[in-house]
Amino acid sequence: MRKGNILLAGLLMVLGGCQPEVTAKSAEKRPVDKPAEWRLADKTGCFMCHKTGKNLLGPSWEAVSERYRNNPNAEAYLMDKITQGGSGAWSNKDMPAYSEDLLSEANLRILVKYILSL
């Protein structure tokens, strides 16, 4: 358990260049209370860095939704951003790239629509 956490922390530091927030997941409500989209995001690992309602390593998804609310290209832009990864929109920390083998286009679209609905 301890060892696993240390390994995960190391991985997160490599990915995000920052300290992980270990309590992020346990602070959320039980997964069964959440919609399918939330569980998909959880399974994909998004909540290692994002949390609804709070800026973690990445911006809170409510803040993302707020920023792109009136942007007609938001869906295409965010799908591209998640596929390519990169930094600069919120901070100098990198959003990791999720290629097709990590996240299918269909699931990516579901997540982006979910984020924009928050």
**Contacts to ligand HEC by CB under 6 A:** 15-16, 41, 44-46, 48-50, 57-59, 64, 78, 81-82, 86-91, 93-96, 98, 103, 111, 115
User: Which residue, 79, 83, 114, 108, is CA-closest to 96?
Assistant: 83
* Least distance in angstroms from the C-beta of 30 to ligand HEC: 20
What angle, 0 to 180 degrees and rounded to 10, lies between the N-to-C axes of helices 36-44 and 105-116? 120
Output the smallest distance, CB 114 to ligand HEC, in A.
8
Shortest Å, Cβ 104 to ligand HEC = 11
Rounded to an integer, what distance in angstroms lies between the CA atom of residue 112 and that of residue 105? Answer: 10
